[in-house]
Amino acid sequence: MIQELSYIGIGSPHAEDWRRYGTELLGAMLAPDGPDGAVRLAVDDVDYRIAVHPASEDEFRYAGWGVANETDLHAFASHLESRGVTVHHGDAELLRERQVAGLVWFEDPWGLRHELSWGKAATPLSFRAGRTMRGGFVTGEQGLGHVVFQVPDIARADHFYVDVLGFRLSDRVTVGAGGADSTVDVRFYHVNGRHHSLALAELPGHVGFNHLMLEVEHMDDLGRLIDLLDEHDVEIVQSLGRHTNDLMTSVYIGSPSGLQIEYGFGGLAVDDLSWVARTYTRPSYWGHKRSAAAQAALPGIVKPLAAEAR
């Protein structure tokens, strides 16, 4: 059973820019570089959770999901194989790079790579925020944060992520007529107390990585990030607002690599025993206004699918 979003990796020609962006703006801590020169960031005592690999174009590389232990990893790998998923076993080199004790990986129907691992390295009392902060990031049992992917077919994606991978639906946001006529069709899934560790948004003909959400413990650390945006020449993609479903007060900002970062405070924790999925017709109570530039561009690191892959 997947229990947390453990880490993520992207590739980018602007990987170096994350040294300043990741620390002085986001407040993460610089970890030692990866073997390929990847810029790596820690947001808690896990030695690193975000890797930006040098690459010729902005690209999603992998999402790392944590399972409890070695037994669970083996059981999950067997389960995936029994459902027809091709499972690759990480070699010693990959385990060293990801700093985990065991790892398997596979791809979703559109080639998004997911890694399952256990035993990720952590150093107690090692985290120091990259800028002045009142507190730290909300991680622990809720993992790194959440990731949102665009997928061309939400029904097919839901089948893979729920029926095969075991993500549990938290709720949906649909705007428009529903089904193929919806202008917005997003599903949110939990694997622990965090309201969602994964969301999938339908974008016909495309696949991609829309945003990574990082949650801070204190509203002041969200406010100060907004104050620092001008100094870092980073644009707001969606203005400060509060979501209807996870109650997160957040702002969406650009990054050096096309990926959006949602920086939030005050997210809801769900109790799986009593949780009932709802359908909301709007994503936010207030705010989250998209900038003109954001409305004109593809959201995040998004690629059109080749015709045969649609």
Strand partners, 279: 172
Least spacing, CB of residue 310 vs Fe ion, in Å? 25
Q: Which is nearer to Fe ion, 288 or 303 (CB)?
A: 288
Asked if 154 touches Fe ion (CB under 5 A), the answer is: no
Site stretch for Fe ion (CB under 5 A), options 102-110, 200-208, 260-268, 302-310: 260-268
Alpha carbons 143 and 270: distance in angstroms, whole number: 14
**How many residues line the site for Fe ion (CB under 5 A)?**
2
Asked if 144 touches Fe ion (CB under 5 A), the answer is: no
Q: Which of residues 41-60 bind Fe ion (CB under 5 A)?
A: none
Asked if 251 touches Fe ion (CB under 5 A), the answer is: no
Q: Which long-range contacts (CB under 8 A, 24 or more apart) does 155-163 make?
A: 156/109, 157/108, 157/109, 157/200, 157/202, 158/187, 158/200, 160/108, 160/109, 161/108, 161/189, 161/198, 161/200, 162/189
Alpha carbons 83 and 77: distance in angstroms, whole number: 10
Q: Which is nearer to Fe ion, 69 or 281 (CB)?
A: 281
Q: Which is nearer to Fe ion, 98 or 146 (CB)?
A: 146
Assigned token pair, 268: 């809801």
Residue 7: other Cβ atoms inside 10 A:
27
Asked if 212 touches Fe ion (CB under 5 A), the answer is: no
Asked if 129 touches Fe ion (CB under 5 A), the answer is: no
Q: Which is nearer to Fe ion, 213 or 251 (CB)?
A: 213
**Residue 268: which of 195, 205, 215, 198 has the closest Cα?**
195
- 64 neighbors 117 (Cβ within 8 angstroms): yes
Q: Which is nearer to Fe ion, 73 or 301 (CB)?
A: 301
Asked if 171 touches Fe ion (CB under 5 A), the answer is: no
Three-class HEC string of 214-252: EEECCHHHHHHHHHHHHHHCCCEEEEEEEECCCCCEEEE
Site stretch for Fe ion (CB under 5 A), options 4-12, 24-32, 256-264, 289-297: 256-264
Site stretch for Fe ion (CB under 5 A), options 65-73, 94-102, 207-215, 289-297: 207-215
Assigned token pair, 8: 């993520």
Q: Which of residues 213-232 bind Fe ion (CB under 5 A)?
A: 213
Asked if 262 touches Fe ion (CB under 5 A), the answer is: yes
Q: Which residues make up the interface to Fe ion (CB under 5 A)?
A: 213, 262
